[in-house]
Amino acid sequence: MDFIDYYKLLGLPKTASEKDIKAAYRKLARKYHPDLNPNNKESEKKFKEINEANEVLSDPEKRKKYDKYGKDWQHADEIEKSRQQQSQRNTGRQQSSEGYSGDFSDFFESMFENQAGPRGRQTRFKGQDLNAELQLDLKDVYVSQKQTLTVNGKNIRLTIPAGVENGQTIKIPGHGAPGANGGPNGDLYITFSIADHPKFKRESSNLYASVEIDLYTALLGGDTTVDTLDGQVKLKVAPETQSGTKVKLKGKGFPVYKKDGEFGDLYITYQVKLPTKLSEQEKALFAELAKIRNHGN
């Protein structure tokens, strides 16, 4: 397996901060995402490598092992353990990883061969777990849908249940990196990044939105049309509705995760919009109304 310099891949120095790594990953992931580069094998390969780099470098413990062992970082614990055991058996033959001039894969193999004979090379190791981020809009997770992800050069058909949360992670067993010496594949962990919606704020399965109504509707009552994620709804506005008044639209919120047919509620806050650029006649009428109001009090 060819060695991939994850720092070079992300365009970062080895001293890069966690913030730098995250920013570089997001920028490159958007650039090479398969959805933006359909049927582009080179972009698929690049996208996979970028995800692998982020999975390692964004984890402090994995990054430490990678900095020391390179592409064999996932076997770091076994290497260290084998070195210690060999040192205890024969200190004269102790080999230091810092002084070893060959590839760590060869070093790792020789350790087990010396320790347990030919059978040592048959030790199985589970493959590396992989992490990926899937960026979606709020409407994308309003209904269940299927998407195809490309991981390790393989297309994975994924069903995304309606109602997934921003930051939620799901596990897909066996779709990580291949195991070593016939060991099982690692797992794939997908984290959902759901962008904010321009009209709706989401809190669990409830949605919140603000709707403007004019002064006359607020004072006299009437009808107004509001948007929901499932279309438009006509509402009755009660007379003398104050700005900031909240109404609840039951069942018009967000679907409850993995509970078919269950929805949260949509909470509408009315904002009364005052008229501007009044004509002289309108000003006179409002002045007359003010006199009547004050006289009545």
DSSP line for 204-272: TTEEEEEEEEEHHHHHH-EEEEEEETTEEEEEEEPTTPPTT-EEEETT-SPBPTT-TT-B--EEEEEEE
Closest Cα partner for 108 from 139, 137, 73?
Answer: 73
Closest by CA position to 92, among listed 60, 114, 64: 114
Q: How confident is the model at residue 141 (pLDDT cuts 50, 70, 90)?
A: very high
pLDDT band at 67 (very low <50, low <70, confident <90, very high): confident
Residues 158 and 151 sit within 8 Å (Cβ to Cβ): no
Out of 110-114, 121-125, 190-194, give the one with best mean pLDDT.
Answer: 190-194
Residue 8 pLDDT greater than 60, yes or no: yes
Number of Cβ atoms within 10 Å of the Cβ of 213? 21
Lowest-confidence region among 14-18, 59-63, 72-76, 118-122 = 118-122
Cα distance between residue 178 and residue 244, in whole Å:
57
Please give the pLDDT value at position 106: 52
Which pLDDT tens digit goes with each residue over 239-291?
Answer: 999 999 999 999 999 999 989 899 999 999 999 999 999 999 999 999 999 99
The predicted-structure confidence for 220-240, as pLDDT tens digits, reads as follows 999 999 999 999 999 999 999
How confident is the model at residue 2, as a pLDDT? 53
175 pLDDT more than 70? yes
Q: Which backbone phi and psi does 145 adopt, to 5 degrees?
A: -150, 165
Domains, the chain: 6-122 (1.10.287.110), 130-194 (2.60.260.20), 201-296 (2.60.260.20)
Report the alpha-carbon distance of residue 144 to residue 192 in Å, rounded: 14
Tokens of 237: 């506005």
> How far is residue 50's CA from residue 23's CA, in Å, rounded to a whole number?
12
Position 52 confidence tier, pLDDT thresholds 50, 70, 90: confident
pLDDT in the model for residue 294:
85
**Taking the C-alpha atoms of 193, 15, 78 and 97 in order, what is their torsion angle to the nearest 10 degrees?**
170
Query: Is the model's pLDDT at 58 over the cut of 80?
Result: yes
What is the Cα 94 distance to its own chain's centre? 45
Closest CA to 190 of 135, 134, 148, 151: 134
Model confidence at 76, pLDDT cuts 50, 70, 90, reads: confident
Dihedral-angle region of residue 11 (phi above 0 means left; psi in -120 to 50 means alpha; beta otherwise): left
Q: What is the model's pLDDT at position 120?
A: 44
